[in-house]
Amino acid sequence: MRMGLVRSAVLGVSVALLATTAQPALSGPGDDTLNVVWEREQTTLDVYYFTDHTGLTLIKNVWDGLVERDPQTGEYIGNLATSWEWENDTSLVMDLRRGVTFHNGEPFDADDVVYTLNYVTDPANKVLLLQMVNWIKGAEKIDQYKVRIFLKQPFPPVLEYLSLGVPIYPNEYYAEVGTEGMGKEPVGTGPYKVVAFEPGREYVLERFDDYFEGGAKPRAQIKTVKVSTVKDTNLQIGKLMTGQVDFLWRLQADQADQLRQSTEFQIVSVPTIRTAFMLFTVDGADGPFSDVRVRRAFGHAINREAIAKNLLRGESTVVDTLCSPIQVACPDAGTVYDYDPEKARRLLAEAGYEDGFDMELATPSFRYISEAIVGDLKQVGINASLKSLVWATFRDQWVSGELPAFVFNTGFWGIGDAAIAFGTYHGGMPQDMANDPEVNALLEQASVMYDLEQRTAVYGKAQNIVLDNAYWLPLAGFSVNFALSPQLSFQPTSDEVNRFYLASWK
């Protein structure tokens, strides 16, 4: 499989010794508790109503899907389903595993699968993780341990989506408590169960000792995992240094470099499918960005190589495609914007902006990337002021067309197929700010193609139109940095899903 999970071996591990004696450990193997901090806030634990990438970590540890993808080989393995067979291009029959129970003791069977799939596809329920399930038409029970899943139309990456973004809920419990109850006291079948939750602050996982055997996931080894929100990265590092924390991720490159030199902790850098982009609201626009020459000028004004090498560093590289190059069916780039400030100035002059213009550049995260872009734009006469927004506000303003130009990044929800990129951000979807009819027609054609070579070729045609018109400017792929306790054995993967059930103490 082409996706980076095949390449998920830990890269660049570096361990340095403290110049002074470290503080006594306050967590770790002593009390069999893995303490994790990150900057994201988990406001609900009903993951179908939570769209941040960190929700995928919760899905993997607390719930199970019908299928699992091996994080090392990329192979699809039965999990809650033991086998499956296609009846036709839009009908999939799955045999279910027997002897599985949810954390509350409710037995798992076909009723849970049918209930979950029919609930999340019902427009009345307004699930937010829609990009993971909008290919499903519905499901029906054949017998207690067999279901039929109906697709709206042929959809090539079915198993990929089932393996990551479609956790199965207990039908009786969810029908009783709804999203409010599941959001506070979730129940799954996964290797860990939730035993405590403070919205926006912390959730605590405890090993589920009755986890079933024979599936794709092993039983968890570490007893307790505490996941806390700490927004200040300096405070995160302080907690690591004083032994209060065993696990940090998404460290900036300079922070990782400093820790390599001054601490005894494992500093791990791993390439991911996360990619940064710059977008313009073109559909209906009447300002500078309605002119393709202005958008192309931005493509030549931004020093993407410097962003990758100097800011992101590690395994980060320039990206020229609308998808991650390591996703299945991601086509090679046609149009590529080389760094050429002089060409950018000529294009701006041709468009009538010889003296540049003032603008606002929005971003929800990784502000330092946008700050570098602001500096590059200034060199060609464009005065950009940076507007930082929290994710929910940013997304609302994005889809409503309120942001003329903005920078964002996506991990594609961990999906290793280019369908997630083209099917979420283009093709007339709410986040498509160009809505080009020719692109839309090509992507509709590609979305039902099971032949990988043909699908990749059609994606390539659509991508060339998007890039040539500079609706969307790819910037760079991310290398994500982790700081781990020296006593922890943990292997990050390129989908940025933290499988705590695979962690152990050395």
In this predicted structure, what is the pLDDT of residue 494?
84
Pairing of strands 76-78, 67-69: antiparallel
- Comparing CA positions, the residue from 68, 45, 69 lying closest to residue 58 is 45
Cα(177)–Cα(374) distance, integer angstroms: 48
- Comparing CA positions, the residue from 280, 481, 324 lying closest to residue 412 is 324
Q: Are 112 and 171 in contact (CB under 8 A)?
A: yes
Q: Are 401 and 284 in contact (CB under 8 A)?
A: yes
Q: Are 39 and 230 in contact (CB under 8 A)?
A: yes
Residue-wise pLDDT tens digits, 342-361: 999 999 999 999 999 999 99
Asked if residue 250 has pLDDT above 90, the reply is: no
For the entire predicted model, the pTM comes to 0.84
Residue 200 CB neighbours (<10 A): 11
Asked if residue 73 has pLDDT above 50, the reply is: yes
CA-to-CA separations, 469 to 116, 298, 330, 343, in angstroms, rounded: 41, 12, 19, 16
Q: Which of 5-9, 78-82, 86-90, 327-331 has the lowest mean pLDDT?
A: 5-9
Cα(41)–Cα(39) distance, integer angstroms: 7
Instruction: Give the pair of three-digit tokens for residue 120.
Output: 């999340």
Q: Are 327 and 417 in contact (CB under 8 A)?
A: yes
- Comparing CA positions, the residue from 156, 186, 33, 20 lying closest to residue 90 is 156
Residue-wise pLDDT tens digits, 380-426: 999 999 999 988 899 899 999 999 999 999 989 889 999 999 999 99
Cα(406)–Cα(402) distance, integer angstroms: 10
Q: Are 481 and 254 in contact (CB under 8 A)?
A: no
Residue 144 CB neighbours (<10 A): 12
Residue-wise pLDDT tens digits, 200-216: 899 999 999 999 999 99
Stronger pLDDT, 273 or 2, i.e. the higher one: 273
Whole-number average pLDDT of the chain: 91
Question: How big is the chain by its Cα radius of gyration, in Å?
Answer: 23
Cα(394)–Cα(391) distance, integer angstroms: 5
Map residue 41 onto helix, strand or coil.
Answer: coil
Asked if residue 84 has pLDDT above 80, the reply is: yes
Residue-wise pLDDT tens digits, 1-35: 333 333 332 323 333 333 333 444 456 788 999 99
Cα(99)–Cα(296) distance, integer angstroms: 58
Cα(305)–Cα(309) distance, integer angstroms: 6
Cα(34)–Cα(54) distance, integer angstroms: 17
CA-to-CA separations, 297 to 303, 368, 377, in angstroms, rounded: 12, 21, 10
Cα(446)–Cα(165) distance, integer angstroms: 21
Stronger pLDDT, 20 or 71, i.e. the higher one: 71
Residue-wise pLDDT tens digits, 475-491: 999 988 999 999 999 99
Pairing of strands 33-38, 247-251: parallel
For residue 178, name the pLDDT band (cuts at 50, 70, 90).
very high
Q: Which residues are 266's β-sheet partners?
A: 15, 484
Cα(374)–Cα(389) distance, integer angstroms: 16
In this predicted structure, what is the pLDDT of residue 3?
39
- Comparing CA positions, the residue from 281, 229, 322 lying closest to residue 406 is 281
Residue 205 CB neighbours (<10 A): 26
Contacts of 465 (CB under 8 A, 6+ apart): 436, 438, 439, 442
Pairing of strands 192-198, 202-207: antiparallel
